[in-house]
Amino acid sequence: MLPEASARKPEDSPPFSLPSNLAIQSTSRTKSPHLALIMDGNGRWAARRGLPRSEGHRQGAKAVRRVVEGAARLGVGTLTLYAFSSDNWRRPQAEVEALMALFRRFLIQEIPICLRHGVQVRVIGHRHRLREDVSDAIERCEAATAGGQRMTLRLAVDYSSRAQLAKAARLVVDGCPEEMERALGRVNHPLECASPVDLLVRTSGEKRLSDFLLWECAYAELHFVDTLWPDFGAADVEEALLELSRRQRRFGGLGEQPAGTPADSRDPIRTGVR
């Protein structure tokens, strides 16, 4: 969720690039990693500065832009951001309304930036419970950015992984992992399958998944940082990806497979390997 679009051009941005010989074991068929982020700490960031929570959310929105632009430059294939959980409806109504207004503004104002960076936007979650103007903005943004091929940005809004899993399970007939994956993809978004996450990052020092992408994170590497979300940026994404590259992912095996092994043979969700 972002504020007004920046006039800064991509070439004016500080360069972020991983070493050319860096090997990341990705479960994606394209070998571009799927990075998932739990954006946590906006309220604490504001409280430590004696500011209202709304200012924390506004500064957190600026962090989203930095992260999206940085992830695209770093070669991330899919970036999934936990923007608003189904449990967040329990927050004060004024805060919820402010978050929805911020989200709607992002969807409209960030279209030119997403087009410039080749970013395709998709929204997963319970759309039917969102305000009509927010739903309209989602449809407009998804349609406008549908041709983006550099990176897919998925925004989880009114999202509950347990609810999505329960809904997908009702669509499954024989219970095989592949069918479950397709069913979960259909309830998340009509154009995709459930994509396994390679790296899950959570900011603010908390160490829990909070009902986020539970199926997709079955074999994800977990990376927890103390940085509050408004202070998170492209350099932190780079460090997280470097950390991922240092880990040996065995996927239930002995770890002998090289990084170039076809994704399908190393994907435990598709192969059923445990």
DSSP assignment, residue 194? P
pLDDT at 251: 74
8: Cβ contacts below 8 Å, ≥ 6 apart: none
Placement of tokens 């103007």 in the chain? 133
**In this structure, are strands 151-159 and 119-124 parallel, antiparallel, or unpaired?**
parallel
Summarize pLDDT for 76-116 with one digit per residue, the tens.
999 999 999 999 999 999 999 999 999 999 899 899 999 99
Q: Counting beta carbons within 10 angstroms of the beta carbon of residue 75, is it exposed (0 to 12), middle (13 to 18) or buried (19 or more)?
A: middle
- Of 147, 19, 5, 21, nearest to 68 by C-alpha is 5
Instruction: Going from the first residue of the chain to its last (274 residues), give the mean pLDDT of each consecutive group of 10, the final group possibly shorter.
Output: 38 44 50 93 97 95 94 95 96 95 92 95 92 95 96 96 90 79 80 82 97 94 97 96 87 61 47 40
Helix runs in 10-110, H state only:
42-48, 53-74, 93-109
- Beta-strand (E) ranges in the chain? 34-38, 78-85, 119-124, 151-159, 199-202, 221-224
Helix (H, G, I), strand (E, B) or coil at 234: helix
74: Cβ contacts below 8 Å, ≥ 6 apart: 16, 17, 18, 234, 237, 238, 241
Q: Supply 108's token pair.
A: 């409209």
DSSP assignment, residue 128? G
pLDDT at 270: 46
| Residues designated as active site | 40, 88
- DSSP letters for 22-44: -----SSTTS--EEEEE---HHH
User: Mind listing the domains of the chain with CATH numbers?
Assistant: 29-160+198-244 (3.40.1180.10)
DSSP assignment, residue 91? S
